[in-house]
């Protein structure tokens, strides 16, 4: 009896040691979001909560962000290993910092289309892009839609407009008050913010860049040059585990919001579920994304975007898409089959 007890104790001790060793061996990955813990953050929080990253040998921590520029800076500085950021912002960083040797690179496209759009209240009689000529538009100075607006204006023959700058929380408020005629912003952010201010979605004219001649890519997963160089397998494992989680999130957005709620207890679950579904429908599970494949990019489209960003952002050097995109860590095609079947 004593021998059997000693044997069981030894087995349990070995099991505990193995578990502790596995946890100790997991590669730590600090991940920086582009924004707060809102609906789309579920794409990253669910695979953490369900242990997909841990099973892949990674100890991933996800932190809220304050914008794509900040996410890129933190990954570039080494304070974060990976992040989520607008590709246009990454292009600008590359082209404006030629002296920086180790710059972050994009390793997986998530928002195949930019979420940027122009929004106006229907009562303003702005029904199409050309109606914006001579109007007063508002957005924070760093807003992706505002910065890319010259492309939108050129594609739609929009004449001169007047810009008003404000902090992000005031954008939708100023539109509702009539201080400005239209705003630029992410569709799944500003549209829901307008609803929170008493405006019905049916009373808003939404003009997405992607539907009006501007085919910019949106947010991508980025990785530090150090991580890519020293631990490429960690990048590969991260993307595979992320893809597994993304497939589940798109199949059942409602349940995925629970993981966002865990990180920020004051979020409105119903609202964030709508935000997540809107993001899926408008920038993730799109015709362009299905055509190119989840996580992937078209070299031709990428080259065009690089040229456009170089011109519109007036960068110090021309954007070189070959230095900022690295698709060799993407999972096999079978693992990238994440879109819900129609």
Strand partners, 137: 163, 182
Length of the chain: 342
C-alpha span between 296 and 30 (Å, rounded)? 23
8 is written with which tokens?
Answer: 């069981």
Which 3 state secondary structure label does DSSP give 148? Answer: coil
Query: What local confidence, expressed as pLDDT, does residue 124 receive?
Result: 95
Q: What angle do CA 116, 62, 270 make, to 5 degrees?
A: 60
* Calculated CA dihedral for residues 77, 83, 86, 88, nearest 10 degrees: 40
Query: What local confidence, expressed as pLDDT, does residue 341 receive?
Result: 84
C-alpha span between 155 and 214 (Å, rounded)? 7
**How many C-beta atoms lie closer than 10 Å to residue 326's C-beta?**
18
* Calculated CA dihedral for residues 15, 49, 217, 251, nearest 10 degrees: 110
Residues 261, 81: contact at Cβ < 8 Å? Answer: no
51 is written with which tokens?
Answer: 């242990």
Residue ranges and CATH numbers for the domains of the chain are 27-112+217-335 (3.40.190.10), 116-211 (3.40.190.10)
Per-residue pLDDT of the chain (342 residues; tens, 9 = 90+): 455 555 455 545 545 444 444 445 799 999 999 999 999 999 999 999 999 999 999 999 999 999 999 999 999 999 999 999 999 999 999 999 999 999 999 999 999 999 999 999 999 999 999 999 999 999 999 999 999 999 999 999 999 999 999 999 999 999 999 999 999 999 999 999 999 999 999 999 999 999 999 999 999 999 999 999 999 999 999 999 999 999 999 999 999 999 999 999 999 999 999 999 999 999 999 999 999 999 999 999 999 999 999 999 999 999 999 999 999 999 999 999 999 986
Query: Which string of DSSP letters, residue by residue, matches 92-107?
Result: HHHHH-TT-SS--EEE
pTM for this prediction: 0.91
Q: Helix, strand, coil: what percent of the chain each, to 5? A: 55, 15, 30
C-alpha span between 81 and 22 (Å, rounded)? 21
């Amino acid at each position: 009896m004593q021998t059997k007890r000693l044997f069981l104790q030894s087995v349990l001790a070995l099991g505990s040691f193995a578990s502790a060793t596995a946890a100790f061996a997991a590669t730590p990955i600090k991940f920086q979001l582009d924004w707060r813990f809102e609906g789309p953050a579920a794409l990253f929080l669910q695979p953490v909560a369900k242990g997909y990253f841990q099973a892949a040998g990674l100890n991933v921590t996800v932190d809220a962000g304050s914008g794509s520029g900040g996410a890129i800076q933190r990954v570039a500085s080494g304070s974060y290993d990976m992040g989520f950021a607008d590709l246009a912002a990454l292009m600008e960083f590359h082209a404006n910092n030629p002296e920086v040797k180790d710059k972050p690179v994009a390793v997986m496209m998530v928002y195949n289309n930019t979420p940027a759009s122009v929004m106006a209240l229907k009562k303003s009689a702005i029904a199409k892009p050309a109606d914006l000529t001579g109007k007063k538009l508002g957005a924070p100075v760093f807003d992706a839609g505002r910065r890319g607006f010259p492309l939108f204006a050129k594609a739609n023959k929009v004449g001169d407009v007047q810009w008003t700058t404000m902090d992000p929380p005031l954008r939708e408020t100023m539109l509702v008050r009539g201080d400005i005629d239209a705003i630029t912003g992410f569709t799944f952010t500003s549209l829901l913010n307008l609803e929170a201010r008493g405006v019905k979605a049916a009373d808003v004219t939404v003009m997405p860049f992607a539907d009006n001649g501007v085919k910019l890519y949106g947010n991508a997963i980025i990785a530090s040059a150090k991580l890519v160089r020293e631990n490429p397998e960690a990048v590969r494992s991260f993307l595979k585990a992320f893809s597994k989680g993304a497939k589940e999130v798109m199949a059942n957005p409602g349940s995925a919001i629970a993981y966002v709620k865990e990180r920020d207890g004051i979020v409105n679950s119903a609202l964030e579920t709508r935000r997540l579904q809107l993001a899926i429908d408008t920038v993730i599970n799109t015709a362009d994304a299905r055509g190119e494949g989840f996580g992937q990019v078209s070299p031709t489209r990428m080259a065009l975007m690089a040229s456009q960003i170089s011109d519109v952002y007036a960068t110090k050097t021309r954007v070189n898409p070959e230095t900022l995109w690295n698709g060799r860590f993407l999972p096999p095609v079978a693992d990238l089959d994440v879109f819900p079947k129609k």
